[in-house]
Amino acid sequence: MAGNSGADFDLFRLAEEHDMLRDAVRSLAEAKIAPFAAEVDEQGRFPSEALEALQGNDLHAVHVPEEYGGAGADALATVIVIEEVARVCASSSLIPAVNKLGSLPVQLSGSEELKAKYLGALARGEGMFSYCLSEPEAGSDAAGMKTRAVRDGDFWVLNGVKRWITNAGVSEFYTVMAVTDPEKRSRGISAFVVEKGDEGVSFGAPEKKLGIKGSPTREVYFDNVRIPADRMIGAEGTGFATAMKTLDHTRVTIAAQAIGIAQGALDYAKGYVQERKQFGKAIAEFQGVQFMLADMAMKLEAARQLTYAAAAKSQRTDGDLTFFGAAAKCFASDVAMEITTDAVQLLGGYGYTRDYPVERMMRDAKITQIYEGTNQVQRIVMARNLP
């Protein structure tokens, strides 16, 4: 497994360990995840086969440091895992991606006791992690959240609702942002670890979504949920800062998911046009088709290089990570939407049917432009953090 030594890699040539990791994940994904991708989408069921395969090969949360029982993979290795899983099944790629999103606040700001307990449990496969930031009235304006946490002796009592929570109901652990001092707006928000089994935690019905149908998205309800005070992540009032710092890193993983989806669509379309014949020859021989493929490949490679550069900055926690994380997520997701749409076009009428995977990839790609901050918000972030 690629170590966490600092992502010292040539942008044009990955380290041998990263290439080996890609080969291993691709083989696993094609053998154990791809065969179930269409069924997972059609039935809207959680990809349990993918979870079993990823956990069985220690690929479900590769970012967890070795001292807590994890693989200790660097940010680029994490990107490669997500990319290769997304290439065959976007829903399944949300297992490693959201495990990082949900647990990174603990890794960044939690006490040693909290890290040992929850990062250790995640690494051992005892439960997945989800991230609870958005609310019905607090989406892009996350600081406008209403969920409250009130101190009661050695406990905090949480009340409120979170919306659009990925893998809600399946995950065992939840990083929850809640208001502890309403007078201070963003500086009055704190972060907590809540367990699925805590009394007062419940879930809404799964959302009926356009894509990523295998990854449940549900509301999470907190009704007088009493949790020990030592489950606060970091100091009181630092939750929003931790949440934003987390997104700087994890937007890179959404970029990885986007390029994986796009790669899968390009690979399929490339194979199809070589087999499909019209006017007596393969349509791959027509210049109009060649130009489409060339543009798809060019934009995908640009997105990949930007994403890998952002991963290196994430690993080093560079000062311009905020810009690069937003740029990678925004550009890669826009490219993924364009490439998957073009892939459907290249397959013609077949591309519009569920008998072929590109229509699923097109639907899955759309969410990458929306979650972890819409691309409109990413452009605001970039404008405020120009290098």
> What positions carry a catalytic annotation?
372
Instruction: Return d(Cα 336, Cα 328) in angstroms, integer.
Output: 12
The alpha carbon of 109 is separated from its chain's Cα centroid by a whole number of angstroms, namely: 20
Q: How many helices (H) and strands (E) does the chain have?
A: 12, 10
Query: What type of residue is 156?
Result: W
Nearest to 18 by CA among 66, 69, 68, 62: 62
Strands 173-179 and 129-132: parallel
Burial of 318 (0-12, 13-18, 19+ CB in 10 A): middle
Instruction: Give CA–CA dist 182/161, Å, rounded.
Output: 16
**How far does Cα 281 stand from its chain's mean position?**
41
In eight-state DSSP terms, residue 13 is B
Burial grade of 386 (CB within 10 A; 0-12, 13-18, 19 or more) = exposed
Q: How far apart are CA 84 and CA 283, in angstroms?
A: 28
- Residues in Cβ contact with 48 at an 8 Å cutoff, skipping those fewer than 6 apart: none
Rounded CA-CA distance 284/320 in Å is 42
Coil/strand/helix, residue 386: coil
- Pairing type for strands 189-195 and 155-166 reads unpaired
